[in-house]
Amino acid sequence: MNNFNIFDITGKKILVTGGSRGLGYGMAEGFLKAGAEVVITGTSEKVFESVEKLKNNTSGVVHGVVLNLDNAANIASVFDEVMEILDNRLDVLVNCAGMQYRCKADEFPVEMWDKIINVNLSSLFKISQIAGRVMLEQGSGKIINIASLTSFIGSESIPAYTATKGAVMQLTKALSNEWSSRGVQVNAIAPGYMETDLTANMKSYNPKQYEEVTSRIPMHRWGKPEDLQGAAIFLASSASDYVSGAIIPVDGGFLGK
């Protein structure tokens, strides 16, 4: 029997920030079903409810930690906790935690701008830097950032989110340029319009935009969190060992139209 499988991630130790719900939860579920050990983070004790749900759905080895990325001083200590849970090895980091605030640009509160920049970009860099040091010392590792269609195109009423996702795309390339020759691949997934908490209010806030978006998607539907599982497993596995600095759209064909 031929057991060769370059997509095998059995036993991989994976950290998924923002894994307690939405896209992060969907990817964590996929990793667990594929045999990885996963730590998910959430901003409150509710993360442990997600852990129990994942255990019931997958029978996988999953742990939860509370991590508020708006508190930069907390990132290093929580990361140490994660490393202890994972026996001081980290094979894959998925940066999925993020936030959005919908408001016209001319009315956008400066305090929300600062908060979103911090959570979606600055904290992503900080945890990538810490994880990157571990992976560089190991001589191997994979970082998967979650970009967005707004990494490629402008949008309406989400200026701070759009700014951070454009920056995440460029940061992905910058980290790849420095680390890929040392065994650490850095890539990003750019989800299309997905049915999550972040997008749930578009239909009521701007129904015209919602209809326009839906009509432009060649698959004629919004994505679901599980639609990211294939790309995530690919980027976490040895199948992607020569892929770095790439931004992979998972968008139902939106960008191609």
Structure token digits, residue 192: 């299309």
What torsion, rounded to 10 degrees, do the Cα atoms 78, 79, 85, 90 define?
160
Residue 205 bears catalytic tag: no
99 closest CA partner among 197, 172, 223 = 197
CA distance 257 to 240: 27
Here the tokens at position 76 are: 């290093």
The answer to whether 161 and 100 have CB atoms below 8 angstroms apart is: yes
Joined together, the tokens standing for residue 194 give 């997905």
Whether the CB-CB separation of 125 and 169 falls below 8 Å is answered with: no
Nearest to 70 by CA among 99, 96, 50: 99
Pair type for strands 247-250 and 61-66: unpaired
Q: How far apart are the first and last CA of the chain?
A: 43
**CA separation, residue 33 to residues 10, 28, 54, 56 (Å):** 9, 9, 10, 11
Catalytic residue among 161, 193, 210, 242: 161
Q: Which residues are catalytic?
A: 161
